[in-house]
């Protein structure tokens, strides 16, 4: 019995403190101002019943959008925009297209919605972008489904406790699942592969199980869960007048991929980069082609003229330079 108790205690401790990072930081400089502008929340890269591999309905997307208090949702079904007949209240219809050569080999995966074009799955070998890198396209830096599946071994180890926790408290379970998103690796890939595009986060959400009876509506996975786990915040100096103008606004503003319901702000003024977070228990990373800077706290300021990836984690416990229980907070690219 004592061995079982010891094993369970160790298992729970590992679950609580995963993941761990050693990093040498310096305290960030307080940022006492933020630029004027507007912040809009949005989602992109999700599928409905108009995709061959999804069962979700437009009304389910609308319900989840309202419950998670999102401003806009861009639905990207495979090779069609039939969902546009059902789009209301900040919902837009886009398309996901697999680009192939004459032999049928995949050259890339592209999300399109009006003037907005997004290179999807850039770090998945099957869909690796093999065409010209048009800088007017955005890059899906975080594909939530791909990011979670990259950690499938860890997911398998902790699967029993995740399921139990989900049954007891849905949000606590989803909060833990966010820990599987490896922002450090994604930032390193962006820099090492020489990308020069703006970025956003896509869900790649497909509903695989749908049960609807009188008084019952069950979706797995549910749009609401994905909308809770990750969202985009668009920071832009002007007001978006309507949904039709929103894709153009994404091209012109800076998108911050967020893993909480409170926006973090990142901006540039001349040759200085500023970061302002809603939490103080945070690690801030700034990574460019030739440098890396690490900060601790709710804000940071540094001098840098080139393009850089900025991302942050919250931590559960700190012992010297060891940070335990890291939870992704946001990631973006500053030009």
The domains found in the chain, sorted by start residue, are 36-261 (3.20.20)
For residue 233, what pLDDT is reported? 98
For residue 290, what pLDDT is reported? 85
What is the C-alpha to C-alpha distance for residues 289 and 188, in angstroms, rounded to an integer? 9
What is the C-alpha to C-alpha distance for residues 323 and 294, in angstroms, rounded to an integer? 13
Question: Is the alpha carbon torsion for 19, 161, 207, 89 positive or negative?
Answer: negative
C-alpha dist (Å) from residue 240 to 41, 231, 255, 279: 12, 18, 14, 28
Beta carbons of 38 and 240 less than 8 angstroms apart = yes
Assess whether pLDDT exceeds 90 at residue 73: yes
Assess whether pLDDT exceeds 90 at residue 217: no
pLDDT band at 5 (very low <50, low <70, confident <90, very high): confident
Count CA within 13 A, CB hemisphere, residue 53. Answer: 8
Assess whether pLDDT exceeds 80 at residue 214: no
Beta carbons of 45 and 76 less than 8 angstroms apart = yes
Assign 138 to helix, strand or coil: strand
What is the C-alpha to C-alpha distance for residues 150 and 163, in angstroms, rounded to an integer? 19
Mean predicted confidence (pLDDT) in 219-246: 96
Assess whether pLDDT exceeds 80 at residue 296: yes
Minimum mean pLDDT range among 131-140, 209-218, 266-275? 209-218
| Tally of CB atoms within 10 A around 24 | 8
What is the C-alpha to C-alpha distance for residues 272 and 226, in angstroms, rounded to an integer? 34
pLDDT band at 186 (very low <50, low <70, confident <90, very high): very high
- Residue predicted with more confidence, 111 or 213: 111
CB within 8 Å of 215: residues ≥ 6 apart: none
pLDDT, tens digit, 9 for 90 and up, residues 88-105: 889 999 999 999 998 889
What is the C-alpha to C-alpha distance for residues 75 and 94, in angstroms, rounded to an integer? 6
What is the C-alpha to C-alpha distance for residues 141 and 226, in angstroms, rounded to an integer? 16
**To which residue do tokens 């599928």 refer?**
47
pLDDT, tens digit, 9 for 90 and up, residues 153-177: 999 999 999 999 999 999 999 999 9
> DSSP alpha helices (H): ranges in the chain?
2-17, 58-67, 144-149, 152-157, 159-168, 170-177, 183-192, 223-229, 246-252
Q: Classify residue 136 as exposed, middle or buried by CB count within 10 Å of its CB (0-12, 13-18, 19+).
A: exposed
Beta carbons of 251 and 136 less than 8 angstroms apart = yes
Beta carbons of 73 and 65 less than 8 angstroms apart = yes
Assess whether pLDDT exceeds 80 at residue 215: no
For residue 32, what pLDDT is reported? 82
What is the C-alpha to C-alpha distance for residues 102 and 91, in angstroms, rounded to an integer? 35
Instruction: Give the tokens for residue 268.
Output: 């540039």
Tell me the CA end-to-end span of the chain in Å, nearest whole number. Answer: 58
What is the C-alpha to C-alpha distance for residues 64 and 55, in angstroms, rounded to an integer? 15
pTM: 0.95
For residue 2, what pLDDT is reported? 86
> How big is the CA angle at 183 (ends 325 and 186), to the nearest 5 degrees?
150
Instruction: Give the tokens for residue 128.
Output: 């690796």
Instruction: Give the tokens for residue 116.
Output: 């907005």
For residue 333, what pLDDT is reported? 98
- Kindly calculate the radius of gyration of the chain based on its CA atoms and give it in whole angstroms: 20
C-alpha dist (Å) from residue 234 to 103, 126, 267: 39, 29, 12
> 295 - beta bridge partners?
26, 284
């Amino acid at each position: 019995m004592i061995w079982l108790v010891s094993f369970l205690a160790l298992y729970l401790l590992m679950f609580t403190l995963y993941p761990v990072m050693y990093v040498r930081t310096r305290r960030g400089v307080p940022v006492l101002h933020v630029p004027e502008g507007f912040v809009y929340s949005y989602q992109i890269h999700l599928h409905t019943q108009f995709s061959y591999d999804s069962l979700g309905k437009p009304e389910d997307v609308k319900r989840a959008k309202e419950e998670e208090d999102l401003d806009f949702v861009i639905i990207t079904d495979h090779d069609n925009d039939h969902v546009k007949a059902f789009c209301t209240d900040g919902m837009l219809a886009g398309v996901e297209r697999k680009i192939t050569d004459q032999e049928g080999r995949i050259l890339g995966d592209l999300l399109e919605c009006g003037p907005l074009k997004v290179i999807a799955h850039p770090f998945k070998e099957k869909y690796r972008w093999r065409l010209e890198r048009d800088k007017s396209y955005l890059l899906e830096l975080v594909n939530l489904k791909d990011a979670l599946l990259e950690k499938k071994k860890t997911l398998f180890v902790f699967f029993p406790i995740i399921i139990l926790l989900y049954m007891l408290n849905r949000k606590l379970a989803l909060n833990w699942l966010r820990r599987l998103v490896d922002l450090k690796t994604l930032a390193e890939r962006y820099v090492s592969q020489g990308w020069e595009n703006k970025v956003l986060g896509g869900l790649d959400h497909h509903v695989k199980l749908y049960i609807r009876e009188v008084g019952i509506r069950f979706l797995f996975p549910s749009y609401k869960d994905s909308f809770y786990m990750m969202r985009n915040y668009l920071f832009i100096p002007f007001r978006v007048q309507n949904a039709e103008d929103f894709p153009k606004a994404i091209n012109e503003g800076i998108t911050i991929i967020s893993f909480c319901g409170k926006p973090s702000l990142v901006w540039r003024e001349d040759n200085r980069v500023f970061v302002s977070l809603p939490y103080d228990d945070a690690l801030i990373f700034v990574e460019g082609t030739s440098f890396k800077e690490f900060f601790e706290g709710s804000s940071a300021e540094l001098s840098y003229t080139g393009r850089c990836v900025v991302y942050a984690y919250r931590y559960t416990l700190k012992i010297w330079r060891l940070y335990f229980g890291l939870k992704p907070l946001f990631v973006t690219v500053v030009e």
